[in-house]
Structure 1
Amino acid sequence: MNGGGARRWGWGSGRAESLRADAQAAKDAAAAAFYDLDTAQRGLRISIETITAVENSPAARKAVQDFEALGSRIDQVSHEYITAVDAHDLDRDDLDSGAASGARAELNRVTDQLKRTKSELERFEHGLGRLLEQAETQLAQLAPAVERGRQGLLEASNALDTARASGLTADDLAARLATLSPELTKLNEGAGQHGVRDTLQRAAHVAREAEAIRGAAARLPETAAETDKRLSSLRTRAQALDTRSGKVEPVLSELRRRFSAACWEDLQQVPDEAVRAVRQAEQKLQEAQRARDEQRWPDATALLSTVRALLNTTDEAIKAAGDRLQRLNEVSFDEKPEVERARFAIRDAQRLAMAGRSTPDPRHANPLDQSVERVDRAVAGLTGRHPDYWHFLMELDSVRETVQEVVDMIRRERGGGS
C-alpha cells in the first residue's frame, strides 16, 4: 500500500512539476511582455516630449492627450500583471496542479493583454511619424542655429574692434550690437526654458543682425574713404560752378543785345539762382564735413546727395544759357539746316508709313501732314528785325518729337520691323 502510495505520489509529483514549469514559463513570458511594454512606453514618452518641446499645435496637443489615455490603459494592464505575479508563488513546495494551472492561465491572459496594449502603443507611435519627424528636424537644427548666432555675435564684435583700432568709433553699430545682449542671454539659457521654436527664431534673428553689423563694420573704412573722396570732389565741383556762374551774365548780355526778349527772358534768373545754389551747396558741404567728423555716416551720405543734386541743377542751368546762345547764333546765321533736319525726318517717316501699302493709315498720315504744315508756319514766322528764333527752334524740336512718335507707333505695329 505504501508502495502504491509511493507510486501515486511520484506520478502526481511529476505532473505538478510539469505544470509548475508551464506556469513559470507563463510567468517569464508575462515578465518579458511587461518589459517590452515598459520599454516601448519609455521610448514613446521620449517621442512625445520631443514633439511637445517643439510643437504647440492642435495636433501636438491631441497627441499628448491620446498618450495620457494610452498611459492609463498601460497602468491598468501593468497593475493586472503585478497583481497576477504577486498572487501566485510558483516556488512554494505545496503548489498543487490546480494552482499551477490557474496561475498559468491567468499569466497567459495578462501576457495577451500586455502584448495587445503594446500593439496599440506601436500603432499610436506610427501615427506620430510626421509630427515626430518635424520635431526631430527642428531639434537637429537647434544646436547649429544657436552656434551660428553665437559665432555671428563674436565676429561682429571682432569687426567692431578692428574698426575702432583704425580710429573709427562705430558708436551706432556698437549700440545695435548691445541690443543683442539680452537675446544672447536667452540663447544661453536654452530651449528648455524658452522653447525650441522660439529659440530657433531667436538664433536666426541674432545671426542675421550680427552679420549686418559685421558687414557694416567691415565696410566702415571704405565708407570713410568714399565719403572723404566725395567731399573733396564736390568741393572742387562747387568751386568750378562758382566760377562758371560768373560767366552767365555776359552770355545773357549778348542774348539781350542780339535777340528778342522771347529768346532769353526765361534765363534772367539763372545768375542769381546759380549763386544761391552754390552757396547752399557749400553750406551743405560744411554740414556733411561735420557729420563725417562725427562719423554720422548716413547723415553725411544724405547731405552729400543733396549737394550733388544742387550742383547738377546749377550745372544744367548754366549750360542751358550757353547752349541757348550757341543754337541761336547758328540758326540766326542760317536756319536752313534746322528746317532740312525736320523735313528729312518727316519724309523718312512718310516712306516708312507707305512701305507695303497703297494708301497710308490716317493715324500715321495725319500727324505727319500736320508736321509739314507746322514746319512751313515756323519758317514763315521768322520775320522782323529780331525774329523769335527760340520759338522757331522749339517748334521744330516738337515736330521731330511728333514724327518720332509716329515712327515708333509704326514699328510697334509691325513687330519691330522697319
Structure 2
Amino acid sequence: MSAVAVTGLGLVTPAGADAAATWRTVCAGSATAAAVDPALGDVPVPLACRVPDFDARTLLGREVWRMDRFAHLALAAAHQAVADAGLDPATWDGARVGVVVGVGTESKDASFTAARKLHGRDYATVSPLTIPRTTTNAAAAEICMALGAGGPSMAVTTACSSGATALGVARDLLVAGRCDVALAGGVEAPCHPMTSLSFSRMGTLSTRLHDPAGASRPFDADRDGFVLAEGAGLLVLERAEDARARRVPVLAHLAGYGASTDAHHYAAPHPEGAGVVRAFQAALADAGLQTGDIGHVNAHGTGTPMNDRIEGATLRRLFRGSPPPVTSAKGVLGHTLGAAGAIEAALSVLTLRHRAIPPTANLDTLDPEIDLDVVTKAPREGAIEAVASNSFGFGGHNAVLILRRA
C-alpha cells in the first residue's frame, strides 16, 4: 500500500490543551494524575487525568450545549488539526473530506442523567437529545457538521485500540480513493463514577492513592494498574501526491497498518502475544519494512502487571531479542482508552519530527521480567526513521501503526 502523509495534528490531553503543550509535558515526564477527581465522587479509586484549563464554550461557541464532553474534546482537536494542515473548511470540497473517530465506549454523562430521571419517573424532563449526544458516532457527526465534511464518516470501536484502528481505516479510505482528505483519530471522556467503578472492580486501576502522581508507572516493578484519563487526538491524512500538490509541510508518513484479534479472552491478552505478532508483522509488510528498520516502539504500556509483561516478551520475540528503545506515554497521560492509539500516533509523529523519544514517567525500577530498553528520566535524542505504535484493547483487538520520517 502507498504511504499517506500526515499534514496536521491536534491534541487535547491531560498534558495540555494543544499539541505543543502536550509534547512539552510528555518530554518533561511530568505525571498529570490528580488525587481526587470531583467528577468521580466517592468511588474506591477516585484518581484521574483530566485536560487542564479546557473551556469548551470559549473554544467552540454556543453549540456546545448539545454535546457531551467527549464531543467537545474531539471537536477542539479537530479544529487544531485542520488549522495545522493549512486547510480551510470554508473553501475545501467537503464532499471529499472523510472523518473517522475511534471511541472506546459511549458517553456516560447524558445517559446517566436521563437514567436518574427515568428512575424518578421525571419523564418530561428527559432531554430529546439523549441518544444523539451519547452514541459513539456523535463526535464524528459533530466534526462533520462543524467543518462541512460531507465525505464518508464513521465511529470505530475496538476498545483501547480504537484511535489507532481509526487511523488505519482512514488510510484505507484514502488509498481506495473514497476521499481526498481524512480527519482521523480518537477521543474518550471516561471520567465518570460508573466507568471508574467498573474498572476498579476488574482490578485494572492503580490504587496508589497515597501517591497520585506516581500511580501510572508502565513497566515498573511496582506498577499496579492504570489511571483513568480523558483526551483526544486527531490527525489530518492526505495522499502524499496531494500534499505535494498543496505544497504543505508533511509531518510524517503513515506507512503501515496491521490489525488482528486474539480470539482468546474478553479482557486478558493472549499469553504469548500471538495476535500482537500478527498485527505487527502485517504493519511491517504493509510498510515494506523489516524489524531492523524500526528505530523506536511507542508501546501500549498501560501499567497493568500482565499487559506490560506480555507486551515486553512479545517485542523481544518480534525483534529476536533486541527491540529498539521503547516508551509509554501513559506514565504522564494516564490511559485515555479509545483515544490512546491516536494520541500516541501523534506523539510518534512528533518523535520523528524532533528526533527525540519522550521518557516513560515513574519508571524507577524496571520489572526484571521485562527485558526492554525503556527510555526514562529524560528524552533520548537520535536519528529515527521509523516508529511502530502499538495499541491493544479488550476483546483481543490489536492495531499497530508504522510511521516514517517525512
TM-score range, shorter chain: under 0.3
| Structure with the higher strand share, 1 or 2 | 2
Relative contact order, CA 8 A, sep 6+: which one is greater?
A: 2
| Structure with the higher helix share, 1 or 2 | 1
Q: What is the TM-score normalised by the length of structure 2?
A: 0.14
Q: What is the TM-score normalised by the length of structure 1?
A: 0.14
